[in-house]
């Protein structure tokens, strides 16, 4: 199995995010974690959970992608439209789930869960073929600004780190909001 262009870069980005995520949790004070983030209704702790949740969603989207990318275009469009129509309830679950999850799970558990999920994504990425990484499907565009109308499987692997980097800039922990 040959490496497709960008596969190593995606793997490196996943490694970088895993390292940064753990450092943010380990190096943050309790006061910093309870401080409001910049541009969201979440505290830094809640936003950190949400950032990890992006990787979890992606891990699960791989299965949906495997099925839906093989359906006819009209089925994909209809499915994406149905998901877009459910944006409001999705956003409510996303918001409240991150608030609740950040309180129920310890920071150590959140960090360990993140490590496992990112590791799972890396193992899955390593097992992909060049052909499978080029497979694409129609995506709902209202759920996240990084979802494109049509995404490849490789785009799906890149998505959670784009999501992570976006929210990392919103953290008000130390200098977290000032890095790339």
Give percent of the chain with pLDDT exceeding 70. 94
What is the percentage of the chain residues whose pLDDT exceeds 90? Answer: 91
What would the 3-class secondary structure string for 76-117 be?
HHHHHHHHHHCHHHHHHHHHHHHHHHHHHCCHHHHHHHHHHH
pLDDT of residue 7: 87
Which CATH number describes the domain made up of 7-178?
Answer: 1.20.120.450
* CA dihedral over 79, 41, 159, 126, signed as positive or negative: negative
Verdict on whether the full-model pTM lies above 0.85: yes
For residue 40, which of 89, 100, 95, 88 has the smallest C-alpha distance? Answer: 95
pLDDT surpassing 80 at residue 3: no
Q: Tell me the mean pLDDT in the region 84-106.
A: 95
CA distance between the termini of the chain: 33
Tens digits of residue pLDDT in 4-63:
348 889 999 999 999 999 999 999 999 999 999 999 999 999 999 999 999 999 999 999
Question: Other CB atoms closer than 10 Å to residue 29's CB: what's the count?
Answer: 10
Q: What is the pLDDT of residue 175?
A: 58
> Domain residues of the chain, as ranges?
7-178
Q: Look at the alpha carbons of 177, 171, 160, 127 in this order and tell me if their dihedral is positive or negative.
A: positive
Q: Determine the average pLDDT of the residues in 69-92.
A: 96
Residues composing the chain: 180
Q: What pLDDT does 6 receive?
A: 81
Q: How far is CA 99 from CA 43, 70, 147, 180, in A?
A: 8, 35, 23, 25
Check pLDDT > 90 for residue 121.
yes
Structure tokens at 14: 């996943």
Q: Which of 1-10, 47-56, 108-117, 124-133 has the weakest average pLDDT?
A: 1-10
Q: Of 4, 165, 110, 132, nearest to 62 (Cα)?
A: 132
Between CA 52 and CA 98 the distance in angstroms is 10
Residue in 153, 169, 144, 165 with CA at minimum distance from that of residue 59: 153
| pLDDT at res. 174 | 78
Range 99-119 burial, b when 16+ CB lie within 10 A, else e = bebbeeeebeebbebbbebbe
- Is the pLDDT confidence value at 104 over 60? yes
As a whole number, the mean pLDDT across the chain is: 92
């Amino acid at each position: 199995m040959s490496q497709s262009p960008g596969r190593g870069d995606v793997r490196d980005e996943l490694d970088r995010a895993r390292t940064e995520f753990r450092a943010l949790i380990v190096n943050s004070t309790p006061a910093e974690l309870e401080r409001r983030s910049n541009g969201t209704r979440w505290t830094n702790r809640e936003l950190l959970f949400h950032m990890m949740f992006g990787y979890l969603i992606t891990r699960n989207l791989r299965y949906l992608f495997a099925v839906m990318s093989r359906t006819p275009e009209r089925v994909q469009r209809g499915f994406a439209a149905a998901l877009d129509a459910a944006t409001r309830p999705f956003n409510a679950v996303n918001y409240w789930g991150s608030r609740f999850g950040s309180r129920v799970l310890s920071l150590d558990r959140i960090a360990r869960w993140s490590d496992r999920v990112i590791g799972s994504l890396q193992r899955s990425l390593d097992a992909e073929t060049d052909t499978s990484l080029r497979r694409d499907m129609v995506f709902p565009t209202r759920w996240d600004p990084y979802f494109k109308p049509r995404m490849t499987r490789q785009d799906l692997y890149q998505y959670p780190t784009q999501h992570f980097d976006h929210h990392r800039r919103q953290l008000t922990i130390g200098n977290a909001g000032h890095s790339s």
